[in-house]
Structure formats: C-alpha cells, structure tokens
Amino acid sequence: MGPLPWPRLLLLPLGCFALLLPPPGAAEFSPSLDSDFTFTLPAGRKECFYQPMRKEASLELEYQVLDGAGLDVDFHLLSPKGETLVFDERKSDGVHTVETEDGDYMFCFDNTFSTISEKVIFFELILDNMGEDGENQEDWKKYVTGTDLLDMKLEDILESINSVKARLSKSVQIQTLLRAFEARDRNIQESNFDRVNFWSMVNLGVMVVVSAVQVYMLKSLFEDKRKSRT
C-alpha cells in the first residue's frame, strides 16, 4: 500500500477571531457519518473548522501529524457556546469523543509556535446518532408487509444489518488509521535516510581532508631532512 496522499485544502487564514461564532473563512463539512481529510498547515498559521451537530449525538475526532519538524501541533475543540472542551499542546496525535448538543462545534489546529516548519495533518470525523438511521428504519417499515409471516422479525433484520454496518465502518476506520501511520513512518524513514546520507558525505569529506594533510606533512618532513644534509 502506498503512502497516504496529501491533498491541500483551500483554507483561509483566521488569526484572531471570536470563539462564539464560526469564523467567516472556516470550512464546513457536510453531515457525513465518517469523513477523513489531510491538509498542509503552514508555519505560523492556525486553521479552524466547524461541524454542525445535533442534540444527543456523538462526535469522535482523531488527528495525526504526518510530517513536519517535531511532528507536533496544538489542538483546540470548542462547543457551540465557545467553551473549550479539549486542548492538546504540542502533540503528534489524539483521539477525542464528546456528546453533543445543537450547534456548530469548532476545532482548530495551531502551528503558530513554529516559525519555519509546516505540518501535514490528517484528521477523521465520526458522527453517531445524527438521526438518519431512525428515518431509514421508518422507510423500511413502509415497504415491508406481512412481517408476522416471516421467521425473523423486521427488528431482528435491522439489528443484524446495523451490526454488519458498524463492523464495516470500524474496519474502514482501522484501515484509514493504518494508512496514516504508514505515511507518518515513511516520512520519518525518508528524513532519517537524508540525514544519514548528509552526515556520511560530511564524514567522507573530513577523511579526505585529513588524509591530504597527513600526506602533505609527511612529505614536508622528508624534504626538510634532505635540505639539512646537503
């Protein structure tokens, strides 16, 4: 499996903004049950996103820093009221789950502490109890008739389908995380490879210079002895 692609999202610089309202340049995601994104966060920048949520739903967010010096970033998660729910300082990854209420939840990635290195960040959103499953179940009941003649009740069928769906979603989530880990490990290996090659060339250059100096010194010693004898 190849490394995780790194598409760049079109994000607007936010800087300082009020936490009680979504910033005008923030990106909004559709209410998908499972979404993952990878973007590049420049040095000295802070990027924020917001996700609309419903009451008594669940928001799970996992992030990883795939590339960049230190592999660290500051992370903030705020409620629709502007309250700080999660704050991670200089971490390379994290997993957070919150029970939500109606409103827009904001999460920010902060790289303002870095003046040189940009960061490549992967994050995944998993939304539960968004109200779509119940509507789908009602649609099933409209088209199914004569369930009393079936050996298995409709509720049992729906329970089995939901169980399979949950297992498949978990499998997709694990595969996505494995791809993210592979991309980060590959970046670390390539960085170490370049570093080893650089210092190997430096050591080789030093050895060549030392050898040349030693040959010159030995040669100069023999030349001095010859001149003193004559």
Residue 77 has pLDDT above 60, yes or no: yes
Residue 37 has pLDDT above 70, yes or no: yes
Residue 160 has pLDDT above 60, yes or no: yes
The reported pLDDT for the residue numbered 135 is 52
Segment 65-76 shows an average pLDDT of 90
User: What is the pLDDT of the chain when averaged over all its residues?
Assistant: 76
The reported pLDDT for the residue numbered 153 is 63
Separation of alpha carbons 52 and 105, rounded Å: 6
The reported pLDDT for the residue numbered 138 is 53
What global pTM score does this model have?
0.54
The reported pLDDT for the residue numbered 173 is 75
For residue 177, what are the CA distances in angstroms to 1, 28, 62, 128? 13, 23, 9, 19
Segment 138-157 shows an average pLDDT of 55
Segment 161-186 shows an average pLDDT of 78
Angle at CA of residue 71, ends 169 and 74, nearest 5°: 80
Tokens of 30: 């559709």
Please report, as a single letter, which amino acid is at residue 96. Answer: H
Residue 227 has pLDDT above 70, yes or no: no
Q: Among 17-26, 106-115, 220-229, where is mean pLDDT lowest?
A: 17-26
Residue 172 has pLDDT above 80, yes or no: no
Helices (H) and strands (E) in the chain, counts: 2, 9
Q: What is the pLDDT of residues 81-115, one digit of tens each?
A: 999 999 999 998 898 999 999 999 999 999 999 98
